[in-house]
Amino acid sequence: MCGIVAYVGYRPALPVLLAGLRRLEYRGYDSAGVALVRPGWIERHRVAGPLDGLVRATRRVDASATTGIGHTRWATHGAPTVENAHPHIDCHGTWAVLHTGIIETHEALRARLRRRGHRFRSQTDTEVIAHLLEDAPSQDPPKAVAWATARLEGSFSLEIVSARDPGRVVAVRLGSPLVVGLGVGEQFIASDVPALLPFTRRVVYLEDAEQCEVTADGIRLERAGRRRRMRIETLRVGETEAERSGYPHFMLKEIHEQPEAVAAALQGRIDLARAQVRLTEKGYGRIDPRRVRRVVAIGCGTALHAALVAKRSIEGLARVPVDVVAASEFRYGEPVLGPGTVVLAISQSGETADTLAGVRLARASRRPVLAIVNVPGSALTREADAVLPMRAGLEIGVASTKAYTSQLVMALLLALDWGRQRGTLSPSAARALLKGLVSLPGALRRTLGLSGTIRRAAQRFAKGHHGNFMFVGRGYNFATAFEGALKLKEITYRHAEGYGAGEMKHGPLALVDARLPVVAVAVRDTVRAKIASNIEEIRARGGNLLVVGTEGDHALARRAGVFFGIPDLPEPLTPVVAVVPLQLFAYHLAVALGRDVDRPRNLAKSVTVE
């Protein structure tokens, strides 16, 4: 949450900061600001609203400053106003601070600083840091920052500049991600790699509780006062990955990238001849599936829905019981993590605060953590005992799409591998599923061909002014209904709920009338007949039915007002493809309703605060 960038070097800092912020807007877009360090003073520009306003406001700014910091905000403390926009300064304008995350002790600090005569101008938790720095016994930036951060509690990352030291930026990571980009005679810092891509591929990920001092000539990393040798990594990301490449929105681009993302997840991991899966990544081989007695799968939002599908595939194929818990509940619950329990953490970003807290809880209980994660170098990749990288590439759209389908594929590979090793899956059954997996990119491409039909249907529903939508599914596609509803609500702002279709008569059926669109996922699988009955019950009450079914299922198509047919697939694989029409429907409905698809209100991409 919140995008932050910093630059120090020989170029004018402002265009670098604005270019970086443009690529971080998905992390927050409530307000934006920059601080440029001039000899002896700091020049600040801040606007309420998205980055475009800041670009306009700084059009005529003198471009000679070569050090600066920039921020795009997702508000936590204080409304999205200019006064609350970052960077924040101390009473004399010597220090400028920007921050992502939360300072939990800010109220007590603010009261104490006020008593000492400091004047506050915003409602943010961030401003206390600027005033704390003013009180630091040493005004040397690295020392002052170390002194101030020792007095802060919370989860955050900071970028700080001082007018007394124009060629230096100090950054701190405590819970929220930060990455330093290395150049020649210039350096960059950002909360996420897309901001660095136009400038460098050489990066150093900050470890937790680490402070970093950056000048044009180099960087210095310290943890608890001790210097750390830096480990330089090379980003294997094409620059255009962070661009829309002709698509009107990142979300649409990422929906269309799903065949390639799934192919990348499968690459080199399937051995058809031996009917086996090859997973060789960090720590994976150290978990013996024959000794696993139980899995607890955690995640948030879309990743939580992926965990629900993973439950089906791991229980179905490997016969290991799986409990699914929202990470935000798991971390504050009293989970019983007995011997033989593996915690499976699923996350696109690998930085979601609740998921990471759940991982730390599991590790404190000495239970192994296996992570399905997309972003290389993220906290989850470092903290988990074993990692299954998804390889979906950058996902920038706030509404997660390709990460979800890749998470499902990774869970299937895991279930297949464990099933073979535990002897619960025969070679012939495994081979059939592996062949199905290989066919997935083609099935996804074919389903994406429905885009025009789905767009027209969505446009009709937009004209119908429907305020509520219901999604139903069963079996392997129980969670597909939840995911379809989540996509719709987060980008259209229409109310949508997902239900198990078998649960309808226990209450939700009361909602059904001719005004209510009901989206049913009813592919050809072992519960097809059951959900067909549920569909009849909805029809009998006049429900406005859209059905995602299997191509050629004419009986079902006749009963639906709108029918989207997907290719026939082995049952455990159907959720990977059945969700695509729902993603497209939400997308086209949002566009028809005039929503800002890539910047849904109140949301941001990585939820690094509680």
Least distance (Å) between residue 147 CB and ligand M6R:
33
CA–CA distance, 29 with 568 (Å, rounded to integer): 41
Name which of 21 and 399 has its Cβ closer to ligand M6R.
Answer: 399
Binding footprint of ligand M6R on the chain (CB under 6 A) = 300-303, 347-349, 352, 355, 398-400, 486, 490, 606-607
Name which of 256 and 420 has its Cβ closer to ligand M6R.
Answer: 256
Least distance (Å) between residue 495 CB and ligand M6R:
16
Name which of 373 and 548 has its Cβ closer to ligand M6R.
Answer: 373
> Could you tell me the two tokens for 107?
């109220």
| Active site (annotated) includes residue 143 | no
Name which of 73 and 106 has its Cβ closer to ligand M6R.
Answer: 73
Least distance (Å) between residue 485 CB and ligand M6R:
11
Name which of 378 and 574 has its Cβ closer to ligand M6R.
Answer: 378
Return the H-helix or E-strand segment holding 97.
strand 95-103
CA–CA distance, 349 with 343 (Å, rounded to integer): 18
CA–CA distance, 95 with 164 (Å, rounded to integer): 9
Least distance (Å) between residue 230 CB and ligand M6R:
26
| Active site (annotated) includes residue 605 | yes
Least distance (Å) between residue 355 CB and ligand M6R:
5
Of the residues 2, 212, 311, 487, only one is catalytic, namely 2
Least distance (Å) between residue 394 CB and ligand M6R:
12
Name which of 126 and 348 has its Cβ closer to ligand M6R.
Answer: 348
CA–CA distance, 445 with 122 (Å, rounded to integer): 50
Q: Is 10 helix (H, G, I), strand (E, B) or coil?
A: coil
Closest to 508 in 3D by CA, of 483, 548, 541: 541
What is the phi/psi pair of residue 549, to 5°?
-130, -165
Least distance (Å) between residue 595 CB and ligand M6R:
14
> Could you tell me the two tokens for 264?
């990348």
511 within 8 A of 496, measured Cβ to Cβ = no
Closest to 467 in 3D by CA, of 502, 517, 426: 517
Q: Read off the DSSP letter of residue 64.
A: T
The CA-atom distances, in angstroms, between 415 and each of 64, 191, 307, 345, 358 are 57, 34, 12, 15, 22
Least distance (Å) between residue 179 CB and ligand M6R:
16
> Could you tell me the two tokens for 466?
């429907």
CA–CA distance, 466 with 447 (Å, rounded to integer): 26
> Could you tell me the two tokens for 489?
């609500």
> Could you tell me the two tokens for 81?
């106003």
| CB environment 471-482: b (16+ within 10 A), e (fewer) | bbbbbbbbbbbb
Q: Is 414 helix (H, G, I), strand (E, B) or coil?
A: helix
Name which of 124 and 355 has its Cβ closer to ligand M6R.
Answer: 355
Residue holding tokens 């139903």? Answer: 472
Query: Given the DSSP bridges, would you call strands 31-38 and 202-205 parallel, antiparallel or unpaired?
Result: unpaired
Of the residues 253, 311, 487, 605, only one is catalytic, namely 605
Burial status of residue 361 (CB atoms within 10 A of its CB: 0-12, 13-18, 19 or more): buried
- Name beta bridge partners: 277: 270
- Name beta bridge partners: 562: 546
In sequence order, the 6+-apart residues with CB closer than 8 A to the CB of 345 are: 297, 298, 299, 327, 355, 358, 359, 362, 369, 370, 371, 372, 373, 380, 384
Least distance (Å) between residue 258 CB and ligand M6R:
14
Name which of 292 and 373 has its Cβ closer to ligand M6R.
Answer: 373
Return the H-helix or E-strand segment holding 308.
helix 301-313
Closest-approach residue to ligand M6R (CB): 301
CA–CA distance, 564 with 550 (Å, rounded to integer): 8
Name which of 4 and 275 has its Cβ closer to ligand M6R.
Answer: 4
Catalytic residue positions?
A: 2, 605
